[in-house]
Amino acid sequence: MDDYVTYAKPDRIAAGVDQLAAMTEPDRPYTRLVFSPEFDAGRRWLEGQFKAAGLVCNIDAGGSLIGIRAGNGAEPRRKLIIGSHIDTVPAGGRFDGIAGVLAALEIVYYLNEHDITLPFDLEIVDFLGEELNVWGTSCLGSRHMAGLVTAEMLGRTDQDGRCLGVEIARIGGSGKPSDGVRGDADQILGCFELHIEQAKTLQERSVDIGLVTEIPSIYRYGITVTGQAGHSGTTLMDGRRDAAVAAADIITAVSDLAGRIAAEDNHHFVATIGKIDIFPNGAAIVPGRAEMTLDLRSASDRSRLRFEAALDKLIKQTSMKRNCKISRDKLAGAAVAPMDRKLISILAEQSARLGLGTMPISSGAGHDTAHLSRFAPAAMIFIPCQDGLSHCPEEFTSADSIARGAAVLVRSVLALAEQSVPKGLI
């Protein structure tokens, strides 16, 4: 049984994490927002790493940085995509996305050190803007590859007047809408991504590798409550149309309903109202309007539809009880993304050969791989995340955990190569 350090070097990974972590807003670690000076610096550093490893670099139309290690297969050559992202949320962590990019680089180092030429091209990718940004869209690079970036998205501007399409063009992309899925989609053997779990299931069960079964559907809705503003001292309690009170009823109902469905349906299911604005927002004014954003994530379309039907009933009841008008409008939606069973089986087998424990696991977060899976076979592995903390400076995983995951990817790439050509030719 091989040791994982045969395939990936923890010290080298740790050094890469530290170097990228230094590219942050100094007063708000770890912040490397897409298109920021810190992000630009991270891109330059990563491109340097790609080139030093012998990769041929380019920025695709969607703004993703791609490093290519050419194979020796027949034309048109097939391709294997492996990567993640280096952008962060505000005051985020050092490992979300970064672990996957550095693990992908370890594959290249191993192939170089052992003078192995694959029968397909290897693409190492830093997907542009995976995190939700001020333009209201996440996974910019992988969405573009999947043909999902529209002119409307690219025309959005932020509070500083920056246009999304212009920013993508500035860093080397086209700044134009997707022209369908990648033109070479039929040549892609598969897509792999390593990521920290962002939860604590693997840690609590002392499991090395999570084999992701699916990435959940992610739907967002705007819920607007319209009541009547009034003087807080003279508007009597029994005559109020308080939008904030109605909003509180809905927030509580969403939490209770989601908990019940998650327990009964036995699927990953979560619902969150994490953003709320109250108008006029004055201490001496009965609120006349409330605007909320509901984030809904489910591994089952049936559970999602059940939730939506029950929520609409609750909204109607709350509207009558609080004498407020309440609407629910869809803002965005992405379907469940099942992972490819063949690729999962390869990852499972190679984990076992390394003596690493595995378990099937459903992702609670969205990832670039969800969009890749819509046009090519795709699979993900999770590695443990200390105490489940993520999207915060306390986020942590060990360099050894990343190296174990990288070793699984190295062996899986070699296994795909063996399946692609007669044995003995690589």
Instruction: Report d(CA 298, CA 305) in Å as an integer.
Output: 10
Quick one: tokens of 343?
Answer: 């690729």
Q: How far is CA 213 from CA 11, 188, 268, 339, 347, in A?
A: 30, 20, 11, 5, 12
- Pairing status of strand 121-126 against strand 188-196: unpaired
Torsion (CA) 276, 281, 284, 286 in degrees, nearest 10: -60
pLDDT given at position 425: 41
Domains and CATH numbers, the chain: 4-215+337-420 (3.40.630.10), 217-334 (3.30.70.360)
pLDDT given at position 424: 45
Torsion (CA) 171, 61, 139, 45 in degrees, nearest 10: -40
pLDDT (tens digit per residue) in 71-81: 997 788 899 99
Quick one: tokens of 241?
Answer: 């149309």
Strand partners, 222: 293, 329
* Residue 111 · residue 126 · CB < 8 Å: no
Instruction: Report d(CA 237, CA 322) in Å as an integer.
Output: 11
pLDDT given at position 100: 98
Q: Output the pTM of the full model.
A: 0.91
pLDDT given at position 73: 77
Which residues of the chain, if any, have pLDDT below 50?
422-426
Residue 100 φ then ψ, to 5°:
-70, -35
pLDDT given at position 76: 84
Instruction: Report d(CA 409, CA 131) in Å as an integer.
Output: 24
Quick one: tokens of 132?
Answer: 């939700």
pLDDT given at position 336: 95
